[in-house]
Structure 1
Amino acid sequence: MATIIFTGIVLMALMGAPIFAVFSLLALTAFHFAEIETSAVVIEMVRLAHHPTLLAIPVFTFAGYLLAESKTPDRLLRLAQAGLGWMPGGVAIVSLLVCAIFTAFTGGSGVTIIALGGLLFPILSKEGYSDRFSLGLITASGSLGLLFPPSLPIILYGLVGKVDIDKLFLAGIVPCFVLIGILSLYAIWMGRGNQQRAPREPFSIDEFKGALWGARYELPIPFFVLIGIYGGFTTASEASVVTAAYVLLMNCVLYKDLSFTGDVPKITKDSMTLVGAILLILACALGFVNYIVDEDVPMLILELMKEHVDSQLTFLLCLNVFLLLVGMMLDIFSAIVVVVPIITPIAAEFGVDPIHLAVIFLTNLEIGYLTPPVGLNLFIASFRFERPVTDIYKASIPFLILLIIALVIITYIPAITLFWFK
């Protein structure tokens, strides 16, 4: 009977059943057949509801949506172009940086591709880049900022993995720049002949000053998070409130991009719909995770791995392959909730630092968005640019290979992540 029920649940998932419903059914069925009171499903939910950092998720999401609906992307793009557009490959580097920053605040790669894709594609084409390169760059850039603070996956990982979120915010900065740096070198290489096809605009101090003044209110935003938290002035939740209040004031009063009565209610509804979906998945998945932990599944996996894996290096290789597959199949929020409690004790046995593990995990999931055949970014880009998904596959492969190279560097050189804490 248990086999029939679990097979039915898997078939429901394959047919498109909501992921929260799948996790709920798995948890309830597992606890029922284990003859454990099903009220145990909600224990982790209650613990989560009392976590002081939980507030940061909806508040940072609200701030990110305000930025997405305003003219902030245009102002940041103008500033980045004015500062870097004169360089070989400068426009492509601008695209990578703006997408990364934008994703960090919106919390979702799909939002970045939809919001910035239409702006960046014609600019890259005008610079002389091929359509294939431009499509691949934008698709890859959609998830680049997930390691930058105040990324929602970082906050969620800290909650589920019981890792200091303030340290995670700091740990992800340099690895994220490694990813951007490797893609930037590729962009420079691919754009080396563009000067003849599309001459670059020389650097203009007047344009840079104008762009700097135009984005004057956006520039302090990262400091609300970094200085507030690491200066000891605020917690992550308090920093989220300060950031959201400032962004609301900036867009409704200073820039007047948005209206308190016309735009903010809709933005609030849209952002909280996303938050509701995240928290619903989180709550339902935690029930299933509770069962997995109670049944000592991580320890069983560990014993199996010890028979075949004899070093930390081999373990990390197996971990990366596994996480790339997870990132391709699951959205990042579901993957964090389900997989992190399983791999955390196993990684500890192999001597992997928990902060380093978090960065490896998030980098893999970030790359998973780009991994064929079912990486989420591939389908979002196909929809946004009205191109066959096979075209997006071809465009994304070089960027996927480069990101995997960056992943290997981040994985096997822990100092890139941990030098802050030495």
Structure 2
Amino acid sequence: MNQAIYVGIILIALLGMPLFLVLLTVAGVGFSFADIDLIVIGIELYRITDSTVLMALPLFAFAGFLLSESNTAQRLVRLSRAALGWMPGGMMLIALLTCAFFTMLTGGSGVTIVALGALLYPALTQSNYEPRFSLGLLTTSGSLGLLLPPAIPLILYGIIAQQMDIPGVDIVDLFIAGLIPALLMILALYGYGLWANRRQPIELVPFNWQECKVALRETVWELLIPVIVLGGVFSGFFVLSEAAAVTALYVLIIETFVYREITARALLKAMRESLIMVGGILLILGSAMAFTNLLVFNNVPFMLFDLIGDRVTNPWVFLILLNILLLILGAFLDIFAALVIMVPLILPLAMKFGIDPIHLGVIFVANMQIGYFTPPVGMNLFIASYRFKKPIGELYRATLPFLGVLLAVVLLITYVPWLSLVFVR
């Protein structure tokens, strides 16, 4: 009987039942069979609201959506071109840094491709980069900033770890841990780009100090955003939730009253879209915590560890299997859904193998951001196909070399914990 009910739930899920309802239904059925009062589900849904860190999510998301509604992307491209266009592979480096910085500010990978694609793709091809190379570069660069603070996926990972009472997981530590891996990814793609275009007569933009000053003056207000967040949090002047509130207010003021690019309609749109996104995350998070409690009650994590422990005894083997699993999940699931479902299962298991939870968070997000453009169903592939009006097969071929480069970096991050933990532990 129990198995028939769970099979029915799975079938309904495959037909399109929302994820949070699937998790709540499974938790409710499981607790009912165990004769546990279903009030525990309500307690879990309420318990996540007790986290002060959680307040940072909607505020950072709101700031990100505001920036995506303004002309921030154009200003960043102009400044990058003026400052870096003279370097070897300058336009390529401009694309990498601009995409990473914009994703860092907005927290959305697909948003970056939509906002910057129309600016950077023509600029790359006009600088004599091949169309296929340009497509691959922009499709893969769209998710580069997900490890840079204020990284919403890292915040979510930290919240889940803290709800599980995992010691030594601080959001600020996660921010610090993601800096070197993110920089490595950018440098690796830049190095590959220089090698791939070594025989191409790439156009360089002569350095113009006057243009650089004008572009810097235009962008200076937005360049202060990471200074406010990082400076405030790392100095101890703000806790994360206060930094998020200050950031949201600051972005609202500069985009509405300084740049005057946010109309009342755009403001309402940013508010609505950020609340929808965060509301979805919170529903899934609360449901996943109730589901996790059911798994813990039934000793599933311990059975999983025994099952894997009988077959995998080497932490290195566990990590490579974990990378494969996360890449597959990243291609099929949204990063937030993957985090709330898999972290409660994987985190205790990883700690049994002696893996630092901060290091695991970086591994998790690094794999998930590659999953965005992993064939066959990585979300960025379809967004780029729509944005650049190219067949999806062409996007597959364009991104494969970049995928290989970033996979190599992920392996380096995975097996050299020092890269993530040097400034943390």
TM-score, normalising length: structure 2: 0.95
Q: Measure the CA separation in 2 of the matches of 1:49 and 1:181.
A: 39
Matched, 1:201 2:205: yes
Q: For 2:206, what is the secondary structure of its paired residue?
A: coil
Paired position in structure 2 for 1:115: 115
Paired position in structure 2 for 1:229: 233
Which has the higher mean CA deviation after the structures are superposed, 361-370 or 382-391? Answer: 382-391
Paired position in structure 2 for 1:297: 300
Measure how far apart 1:387 and its partner are.
Answer: 2.1
Matched, 1:177 2:183: yes
Matched, 1:410 2:413: yes
Measure how far apart 1:417 and its partner are.
Answer: 0.5
CA contact (8 A) 1:316 1:411 kept: yes
Paired position in structure 1 for 2:329: 326
Measure how far apart 1:189 and its partner are.
Answer: 1.8
CA contact (8 A) 2:90 2:204 kept: no
Paired position in structure 1 for 2:149: 149
Measure how far apart 1:267 and its partner are.
Answer: 1.7
Q: Measure the CA separation in 1 of the matches of 2:14 and 2:406.
A: 29
2:354 to 351, 354, 358: 351
Paired position in structure 2 for 1:168: 174
Q: Deviations over 1:307-351 (max 9, x none)?
A: 111222112111111211221221111111111111111111111
Q: Deviations over 1:246-271 (max 9, x none)?
A: 11111111111123x34312221122
Measure how far apart 1:39 and its partner are.
Answer: 2.1
CA contact (8 A) 1:88 1:192 kept: no
Q: What pairs with 1:211-360 in structure 2 (closer than 5 Å)?
A: 211-259=215-263, 261-360=264-363
Measure how far apart 1:194 and its partner are.
Answer: 3.5
CA contact (8 A) 1:88 1:191 kept: no
Q: Measure the CA separation in 1 of the matches of 2:74 and 2:361.
A: 32
Q: Measure the CA separation in 1 of the matches of 2:203 and 2:348.
A: 55
Q: For 1:55, what is the secondary structure of its paired residue?
A: helix
Measure how far apart 1:55 and its partner are.
Answer: 0.7
Paired position in structure 2 for 1:384: 387
TM-score, normalising length: structure 1: 0.96
Measure how far apart 1:37 and its partner are.
Answer: 2.2
Measure how far apart 1:2 and its partner are.
Answer: 2.6
Which has the higher mean CA deviation after the structures are superposed, 54-63 or 344-353? Answer: 344-353
CA distance 1:8–1:132, shift in 2 (3 Å): farther
Which has the higher mean CA deviation after the structures are superposed, 123-132 or 396-405? Answer: 123-132
Measure how far apart 1:115 and its partner are.
Answer: 1.4
5+ unaligned residues in a row in structure 1: which ranges?
A: none
Measure how far apart 1:219 and its partner are.
Answer: 1.6
Task: Give the % identical residues.
Answer: 47
1:371 to 369, 374, 392: 374
Q: Measure the CA separation in 2 of the matches of 1:248 and 1:264.
A: 9
CA contact (8 A) 1:61 1:105 kept: no
CA distance 1:21–1:386, shift in 2 (3 Å): farther
What amino acid sits opposite 1:78 in the alignment? R
Measure how far apart 1:155 and its partner are.
Answer: 0.7
Measure how far apart 1:388 and its partner are.
Answer: 2.1
Matched, 1:76 2:76: yes
Q: Measure the CA separation in 2 of the matches of 1:341 and 1:154.
A: 14
Measure how far apart 1:199 and its partner are.
Answer: 2.6
CA contact (8 A) 1:89 1:192 kept: no
Q: Deviations over 1:122-164 (max 9, x none)?
A: 1111111222111111111111111000011111000001221
Q: Deviations over 1:370-393 (max 9, x none)?
A: 111121111221222222222211
Q: Which runs of 4 or more aligned residues in structure 1 lie more than 4 Å from their structure 2 counterparts after TM superposition? A: none
Measure how far apart 1:190 and its partner are.
Answer: 2.4
Measure how far apart 1:238 and its partner are.
Answer: 0.3
Paired position in structure 2 for 1:52: 52
What amino acid sits opposite 2:112 in the alignment? T
Measure how far apart 1:118 and its partner are.
Answer: 1.6
